[in-house]
Copies of this chain bind each other. A is one copy, B any other.
Amino acid sequence: MTLVDDLAAAVGAANVLTGAEAAPYGVDWMRHYHGRPLAVVRPGSTAEVAACVRVAAAQGVPVVPICGNTGLVGGTMTEGGLMVSLERMNRIRDLRPDARLVVAEAGVILQRLHEAAEEKGLYFPLWFGARGSAMLGGALSTNAGGSNVLRYGSTRGLCLGLEVVLADGRVLNLMSELHKDNSGYDLKQMFIGAEGTLGIITAAVMKLVPLPLAHATAMVSAASLPKALHLLNRMQEATGGRVEAFEFMPRSYSERLREVRPDLGLPFDHIPEVTILIEAATTVAAEGRPDATGEVPLVATLETVLAGMLDEGLIDDAVLARNEDQRAVMWSRREAAAQICVGLEPVVECDVCVPVDRVDAFLTHALARLQALNPGFREITVAHLGDGNLHFSVYPTRDDATLKDAVMDTVEDVVAGLGGSFSAEHGIGLSKLPSMRRRKDPVALDVMRAVKAALDPEGRMNPGKVIPPR
């Protein structure tokens, strides 16, 4: 088989997998997608990625990049394509504390970036549950979000420079380290969030930020979302924007959490309608080091805000993390989200975004309309409330493709009516193609097709993803 031979010549036979060795790459971690790649190749450098892409181009074979395989939308699914795994491109090429940046390859696992930054007193602010296996290239290709977007922005906002292998095997070098660089079109933006459909991201220059000296973390119960939202506003006002995370766990989530992970406990003796996890952080000594009374001023600020809200009846209860262990337990409850949902079938995963003050309206309308559509459906929601981003998983009563599509359509409809988006941070892949077709501005879809055709005229880069066919 020429393809395998040519690939072996490019990267070494040990790095070309076929058959049973290749099979695991064909299945996403949620086990919703099952594909059979023609082969999996594991290049170890940008030049090797380019060589593999040229081999594929010569043979007219589709190319599908894969990093940590933690995606949720079938973005790496392929039947007969060549998978290019970036796992061996795992070098941190440079980390410059004074410039507050790291230059890393696509296969570096996010947690390694966290650790490398922390050693230098810095923080890499892309933070989500899968950080122990998700890789930088995948995060960039999906413009991943996570729990700290509120303060530090999405992956896109953290990226200064990019290196990309194009469909024809040429290397596009956009590895700027500058905060201002207006030298023509900002091409890196096209590849961020393009899920490998325009080229393969092989490395990036990413911003780092100062490592917080201290966190103030609490779990809070409230009777309603509008009441709970005051907490975000008040804490932002009191700290001048030091809130890093504002996460929402509704009753349905807490109930499921208690079922699946009883070991984690629950913060309150009852399950409230609204549970909030709030975290603020500071890099300033005067705010983050214990004062004369032994208290950390940032924690005291959070306590004061919470006490005021308790007095006013805006919240019902609150528990502050008094040490790192307590903080870790609070985060475990939030980050169990994937684990407590995995295996529940049939499922329609909705990753939607609405304006922050319309999250409550979204839930009210969506639940009512789904109840009418499919009485008895279940739902588990967890949300980056500070961004208006809900992970809204719907479990219809039967595994029926028409019903599942109707569920998605209904959710989209509610979202659209509130000025929201049907896709917030997980990407499009295969699972959101119907939504793209139904909801995206047709002119925008046409422009996407034009860009795709310009950069990948043969349509071989991760074909069939992101853009629905005409």
Contact = CB atoms under 8 A, between A and B. Distances in A.
A420 to B, nearest CB: 7
B179 A240 contact: no
Interface residues of A toward B: which range?
35 or more
Nearest to A173: B441
A142 interface: yes
A54 interface: no
Which one of A171, A182, A236, A284 has the greatest number of beta carbons of chain B within 10 Å?
Answer: A182
Interface stretch (A24-32, A268-276, A450-458): A450-458
B187 A447 contact: yes
B183 A440 contact: yes
A356 B447 CA distance: 37
A443 B178 contact: no
Interface stretch (A106-114, A189-197, A307-315, A400-408): A189-197
A219 to B, nearest CB: 23
A470 B424 CA distance: 39
Which one of A179, A241, A422 has the greatest number of beta carbons of chain B within 10 Å?
Answer: A179
Contacts of A238: 284, 286
A153 B283 CA distance: 20
A372 interface: no
Interface stretch (A80-88, A249-257, A317-325, A425-433): A425-433
21 contacts: A145-B180, A156-B186, A166-B447, A171-B443, A173-B444, A176-B421, A178-B355, A178-B388, A179-B387, A180-B384, A180-B388, A181-B421, A182-B427, A184-B467, A185-B193, A185-B448, A210-B240, A237-B284, A238-B284, A238-B286, A450-B455
